[in-house]
Amino acid sequence: MERNVERMLKRVAVVFISIGTAIMVIMILQTPKTCIPPEAPSKPHTHFPRSTCDSSPRQHLPLQKKNARIWSSSAWKSRLTSFSTYFLRFRDLGFLNNHTKALCLSAGAGHAPMALSQIGLADVTAVELVDSIPLVKRADPHNLPFFDGVFDFAFTAHLAEALFPWRFVEEMERMVRRGGFCVVAVDECGGDDVRDIARLFLNSKLVDVANVTLEGSKRTSIIFKVQDSQP
Ligand SMILES: *[C@@H]1O[C@H](CO)[C@@H](O)[C@H](O)[C@H]1NC(C)=O
Ligand SMILES: *[C@@H]1O[C@H](CO)[C@@H](O)[C@H](O)[C@H]1NC(C)=O
């Protein structure tokens, strides 16, 4: 009886030793995948580092391919849809049409200008401190490189982040012709906050305030009609 148990244990041990040896042999024979020297990729733009050992320098992605990749992401698409829905309301209210010359300030990566183009506007300009070609040009919103009154509609969702809000607004109003519209989307607010923002717009009249959802957060959208060009 005891000898049977002993024999069985020995067999089990032999089996485990065999498995262990086999695994060790496989590990020795195999070149670790993590440290294969990088070969020149046949298609540079499809080559990505596969591991930390892959030290070949990242290939410069052609702009068109880079944009195509960004614009096809679901994050981009959902923000774009959000802006389109938001701007369609202005079209329904009569503040926008296909011939409106629009300007987006602090336009980030360009969701807003793309949305405006998508709903049919043929002439959309967007600026930001960092450019995102072809959607967004580089310009300081406090000091815009455009003549007075060349736009019908100016929009920003980033007034709150402006270094000098009064200067930002002054430039925004300067860009828009008399009778045109300045639109700001700010974090949801009411009463006094809206009045404080309205006070920045020296040459415009408040025409509409609405609470909206933009890019997944609650914002208050304020529309001003420009009364007079700057002296
Ligand atoms: C505006 O432009 C879009 C796309 O270019 C077009 O489908 C639409 O019919 C135009 N709307 C008007 C009122 O012209
Ligand atoms: C927007 O929401 C704020 C509360 O967050 C409220 O005080 C304000 O009256 C609302 N504005 C409009 C136009 O509904």
Domains of the chain, start order: 63-226 (3.40.50.150)
Cα separation of 152 and 1, whole Å? 99
pLDDT band at 26 (very low <50, low <70, confident <90, very high): confident
Q: Which of 98, 100, 119, 124 to mutate to test the pocket of ligand 1 (most atoms within 8 A of CB)?
A: 98
- Which has the higher per-residue pLDDT, 187 or 13? 187
Radius of gyration of the chain (CA): 30
Q: Compute the distance between CA of residue 102 and CA of residue 153 in angstroms, rounded to an integer.
A: 5
Q: pLDDT-derived band of residue 81, with 50, 70 and 90 as boundaries?
A: very high
pLDDT at 153: 98
Count CA atoms closer than 13 A to 231's CA, side-chain side.
1
Residues with CB under 6 A from ligand 1: 98, 120
Residue burial 142-164, b: 16+ Cβ < 10 Å; e: rest? bebeeeebebbbbbbbbbeebee
Pairwise pLDDT comparison (158 vs 18), residue with the higher score: 158
Measured CA to CA, the distance from residue 15 to residue 86 in angstroms comes to 69
pLDDT (mean) for 139-150: 94
pLDDT of residue 48: 59
Q: What spacing in Å lies between the alpha carbon of 12 and ligand 2's midpoint?
A: 75
Provide the phi-psi class of 110: left if phi over 0, else alpha when psi is between -120 and 50, else beta. Answer: left
Cα 119 to ligand 2 centre (Å): 27
**Among residues 129, 85, 69, which one has the least CA distance to residue 105?**
129
pLDDT digits (tens, 9 = 90+) for 147-200: 999 999 999 999 999 999 999 999 999 999 999 999 999 999 999 999 999 999
Binned at pLDDT 50, 70 and 90, residue 18 comes out as confident
Instruction: Determine whether the shortest distance from the Cβ of 132 to ligand 2 is under 6 A.
Output: no
97 lines ligand 2 (CB under 6 A): no
What is the model's pLDDT at position 165? 96
**What is the longest distance spanned by two Cα atoms in the chain?**
110
Burial 40-73 (b: 16+ CB within 10 A, else e): eeeeeeebeeeeeeeeeeeeeeeeeeebeeeeee
The finding on whether 210 has its CB within 6 A of some atom of ligand 2 is yes
The two three-digit tokens of residue 56, written as one number: 């070949």
Q: What is the pLDDT of residue 150?
A: 97
Q: Is 195 in the pocket of ligand 2 (CB under 6 A)?
A: no
Pair type for strands 217-226 and 151-156: unpaired
**Nearest CA owner, ligand 1 atom 7:** 120
Q: Which residue is closest in CA terms to ligand 1's atom 2?
A: 120
Any ligand 2 atom below 6 A from CB of 193? no
